[in-house]
Amino acid sequence: MSHPDTSASVTTRNIYLETLPIAEAVDRARAALDRAALVHAETVGSHEAAGRVLSEAVYARYSSPTMHSAAMDGIAVRAADTFAAREGHPVALRRGVTYHPVNTGHPMPEG
């Protein structure tokens, strides 16, 4: 197996770092992190918005769905029916009367 000849002329090193005065280094770091320079708002179509971050809150003109729906599976109760509950003093709830099982996305019971 042959080895490269290391006795040949040494190539010139490419030095890409330089020592800066602290004040200049701090100024460069601040400029690189300047939020106003880095972040700006622009309007793009929805097909171009993937992977981007909103610059402000977006609100729908109309709710969809148009009903109050359950965000997750669980039990729907009226808060007033549970106010008297305390540790060691539970409140008895009745299915279909004071509590209702709900599934994600389904309409919430009235009340």
pLDDT category at 3 given cuts 50, 70, 90 is low
pLDDT the model gives residue 86: 95
Mean pLDDT across the chain: 87
> pLDDT tens across 47-85, in order?
999 999 888 898 989 888 888 999 999 999 999 999 999
Kindly state the percentage of the chain with pLDDT values over 70: 91
Instruction: Inform me whether the pLDDT recorded for 8 exceeds 60.
Output: no
pLDDT category at 15 given cuts 50, 70, 90 is confident
Print the SS3 string covering the chain.
Answer: CCCCCCCCCCCCCCCCCCCCCHHHHHHHHHHHCCHHHHCCCCCCCHHHCCCCCCCCCCCCCCCCCCCCECCCCEEEECHHHHCCCECCECCCCCECCCEEEECCCCECCCC
